[in-house]
Structure 1
Amino acid sequence: MTPVEIHQGNSPIVLGLPHTGTHVPDNIRAQLNERGRGLGDTDWHIHSLYEGLLPGATTVRATFHRYVIDANRDPSGQSLYPGQNTTGLVPLTDFDGQDIWTTPPSEADIEARRETFHAPYHAALQAELERVRDLHGIAILYDCHSIRSHIPFLFDGTLPDFNIGTNLGTTCAPAIEAAVQEICAAADGYTSVTNGRFKGGWTTRHYGRPAEGLHAIQMELAQSTYLETEAAPWRMDDDKAERLRAHLTSILTTLASLAPTVKGTT
């Protein structure tokens, strides 16, 4: 299986999908314990949730699971949230702080996975962002994520439904952040926050260079907004999903229409 799936479009929007993949090579699966083989920290169904919402959007999707290597972490292994509980480039625990390996990966294993999985994903994402920027003079990376709404190991209480991340406003033009905030705040029955527990992962921080015409914003959805329950077998709730998709469509179409007006702004 190739490490990345690419669908090219002609919109200024590029959807990043680093955590929806569930492929684990057999040799790596053999090193995981039973808990790890459950792949519980997947961004379940996110590629399906966003499919078709914005005709012409480019998508770049990692097919490998984040337990193989996390495509949204700094390849150097540096923490995104120093001093806080989180998971690393190759996670040793799940989001509940529980071990996932029978045989933890060695430094050589991690380096091999960087070259085989992490690097090709980001080479593809970089290429698509540059292609789209060449077409429009701007590219907006919208990084698509989801997570369980209750994870005491990572955060207190209940996570808001929409978690917008721009690394404190540095990764995109203010108009982009404001437009997404406005739509989320107006979504009836949903809660939202900007740069709360999730401020944008390595992808958002690395590619968000507004002065160069590259804007990036991360959306971390609470899985309670579209799953039947936040537990195996992780089934999508069609009614919840359709309600949510209406708001996601509004976000993406607004960003696409906004792109020409923010071209060249910081």
Structure 2
Amino acid sequence: MSNSEPVKVIPPADDPIALVCDSPHSGTYYPQDFDFAIELQQLRQCEDTLIEQLWDTAPLVGATLVHATFPRSYIDANRAEDDIDLAMLDGEWNGPVAPSDRCLRLGNGLVFSKTPTLEPIYNRKLHAREIAQRIESCWRPYRRALTDALAGASTRQGGWWHLNLHSMPSNAYARLGLPEKPLADIVLGNLHGASCDAAFADVVGEAFRRHGYTVALNDPYAGQDLVRSLGRPALGQHSLQVEINRGLYLNEKTREPKRQFPELRKRIHLVLQDIASYIREETIQAERKAQLKVKDTA
């Protein structure tokens, strides 16, 4: 796949609502300057392959869809800008540095050094200017596009709802070094209540259950930097991470869709319709409350 734009923004097709869906990890355009040292098929294990296509009817219910075209292994738009392992760099880094545990332990920081199976991605150190260029050309444009989409979609009271879209390997617990147990079809992450209120998480969870899927909350994924930095439930800004079990729709080795892919996409559209109905009702209620406050102070 070739694409010169690091991020795509698909606006609502009709009757916009205050919902933005974003997929930061589904990009499949591997830039020429990546210069990785493993087989591409191994590197593709890092992708949330086809997630933007599973959710591509979001604009039909009035939502905005934002998705990256660059791969997360090149630079991860869902990691903090300072999540950098200095050991992988050649040259002095002048920016802030605060590597996460996953960055140091698994090689999954702002710029990946390892695949999910802990295979080294490079046979060299990266120059500091390479990292800086990736931040400037991909990470910042993605963050700006998402922030702008949320601002554009917000209600008159400044509130909005955000779905941060991902896929998870069917052996997620093993990948994370956790005790094995059955993995849910859908894992919702709200940082244990910090990034969105319980009502929104419940609505999304019940929508998936109603359409035939098992759902877990914050187990084993509670959310990463995007929901952490964007979710402000006290201000009516709700950010929820949604992980879909890849075993439902993807051949995890070849990255090709399974025959179940179209059915899952149809059911996700039904889930989106349920979520859109909730957001429309919540928006109406918020506007009514705001009008009453104006009358009370008049």
Shift of 1:154: 1.7
What is the rounded CA distance, in whole Å, between the counterparts of 1:121 and 1:214 in structure 2?
Answer: 19
Contact preservation (8 Å) 1:149, 1:160: no
User: Secondary structure of 1:241's match?
Assistant: helix
User: Secondary structure of 1:39's match?
Assistant: helix
User: In the alignment, what sits opposite 1:234?
Assistant: 256
Q: 1:211 to 1:261 in 2, by over 3 A?
A: farther
User: In the alignment, what sits opposite 2:143?
Assistant: 122
Contact preservation (8 Å) 1:12, 1:136: no
Q: How does 1:33-48 map to 2 (within 5 A)?
A: 33-34=38-39, 38-48=43-53
Match of residue 169, structure 1, among 175, 187, 193:
193
User: In the alignment, what sits opposite 2:124?
Assistant: 103
Match of residue 253, structure 1, among 264, 272, 276:
276
CA offsets, 1:149-178, max 9 Å, x none? 114232443431110000001111221112
1:49 and 2:54 equivalent? yes
What is the rounded CA distance, in whole Å, between the counterparts of 1:246 and 1:143 in structure 2?
Answer: 16
Q: 1:177 to 1:140 in 2, by over 3 A?
A: same
1:194 and 2:217 equivalent? yes
AA matched with 1:45? L
TM-score (norm 2): 0.78
What is the rounded CA distance, in whole Å, between the counterparts of 1:56 and 1:42 in structure 2?
Answer: 27
Contact preservation (8 Å) 2:18, 2:155: no
Contact preservation (8 Å) 2:43, 2:115: no
Q: Which has the higher helix share?
A: 2
AA matched with 2:19? I
Give unpaired runs (5+ residues) of structure 1.
none
User: In the alignment, what sits opposite 2:86?
Assistant: none
**Percent of aligned positions that are identical:** 26
User: Secondary structure of 1:90's match?
Assistant: coil
What is the rounded CA distance, in whole Å, between the counterparts of 1:136 and 1:17 in structure 2?
Answer: 26
User: Secondary structure of 2:141's match?
Assistant: helix
User: In the alignment, what sits opposite 2:175?
Assistant: 153
* Count of aligned pairs: 262
User: In the alignment, what sits opposite 1:222?
Assistant: 245
TM-score (norm 1): 0.87
Shift of 1:115: 1.5
Shift of 1:206: 0.6
Match of residue 91, structure 1, among 96, 105, 112:
112
Range that drifts further, 147-156 or 63-72: 147-156
Contact preservation (8 Å) 2:76, 2:110: yes
Contact preservation (8 Å) 1:173, 1:262: no
AA matched with 2:65? T
User: Secondary structure of 1:113's match?
Assistant: helix
What is the rounded CA distance, in whole Å, between the counterparts of 1:251 and 1:99 in structure 2?
Answer: 42
What is the rounded CA distance, in whole Å, between the counterparts of 1:232 and 1:52 in structure 2?
Answer: 25
Match of residue 13, structure 1, among 9, 19, 43:
19
Range that drifts further, 36-45 or 63-72: 36-45
What is the rounded CA distance, in whole Å, between the counterparts of 1:111 and 1:146 in structure 2?
Answer: 27
User: In the alignment, what sits opposite 2:96?
Assistant: none
User: In the alignment, what sits opposite 2:89?
Assistant: none
User: Secondary structure of 1:23's match?
Assistant: coil
Question: Which entry has the higher C-alpha Rg, 1 or 2?
Answer: 2
CA offsets, 1:39-70, max 9 Å, x none? 22211111111111443211111111001100
Shift of 1:179: 1.3
Contact preservation (8 Å) 1:165, 1:199: yes
AA matched with 2:147? Q
CA offsets, 1:82-129, max 9 Å, x none? 997572111111112221223342333222211111011001111111
